[in-house]
Amino acid sequence: MKIHFALALLMSIMAVTVANAQFQLDTKAIDQIFSQWDKSDSPGCAVAVLKDGKIVYAKGFGMANLDDHVPNNPNTVFRIASTSKQVTAALMALLAQEGVLSLDDDIRKWIPELPDYGEKITIRDLIHHVSGLRDYTSIMYLNDTLDDHCTDADALEVICRQKGVNFEPGTQFSYCNSGYFLLSVICKRATGDSIRVSADKHIFQPLNMKQTHFHDNYREIVPHRAVGYERNEDGDWEISTTRLEMCGDGGIFTTVRDYALWDENFYTGQVG
């Protein structure tokens, strides 16, 4: 099983806060930073710079698709992997505000098939990576099944068959994909909607993030999608994509323009 390193999925947003009204952005300096990726035979990225809530610079570097020589641009759609977790956490907080669930709920209230480990694990524990649960992606990696087409049911089965936790909940921090995947399961059971639908209702639609979604069907066509790549043993680029459909711990597809709207919400509080 190869560990995927997909440069075409790299996306950068730079927040610029400047008091001087005469400030002028040094676009040449930004271009220089990303020049190593700005090639017709290399995957790259898209970059947006924000000032006072407005995009003052947006540009693509390198290729979104090396087969057809499609360059990246500010409207290129990238899979942002684990950066998706912040949206999952925000969604759970919004559901708690609505009274749909409590962040202090025992997760077995929503997922009773999980073993009783003798200590309460809360939704809050999942959000803060202090649950002690074992990471399902690490287990799949050890089983050499992480590259297989895995469904929510597959991931949940792996988590539920674990006979113990790595530490007493709340006593240690350990980054855990299992926790954030389970948040997507809780979201669906608490609301009746998948995390894709729920995030769209609560976050993406209100913020006008029209090119953003949780990608829960790996076969789904996504216009303007950037392809992921990794180098092979000879140093040549090869396609590197995932067939995983689990969301919550990852799975968001978005653009730098849309992600700028998400960033601005931290200052305006339009949502939440």
Tokens of 50: 């924000």
The pLDDT score that the predictor gives to residue 17 is 44
The pLDDT score that the predictor gives to residue 22 is 60
The pLDDT score that the predictor gives to residue 257 is 97
Tokens 């979604």 label which residue? 213
Do 203 and 89 contact (CB within 8 A), yes or no?
Answer: no
The pLDDT score that the predictor gives to residue 147 is 65
The pLDDT score that the predictor gives to residue 29 is 95
Do 106 and 122 contact (CB within 8 A), yes or no?
Answer: yes
Count of beta carbons in the 10 Å neighbourhood of residue 118: 9
* Single pTM value for the model: 0.90
Reported as type and span, the H/E element at residue 183 is helix 177-191
Tokens 């949780």 label which residue? 214
Cα separation, 34 vs 107, in Å, equals: 43
Closest CA to 77 of 59, 68, 86, 64: 64
- Those residues of the chain that have pLDDT short of 70 are 1-23, 144-148
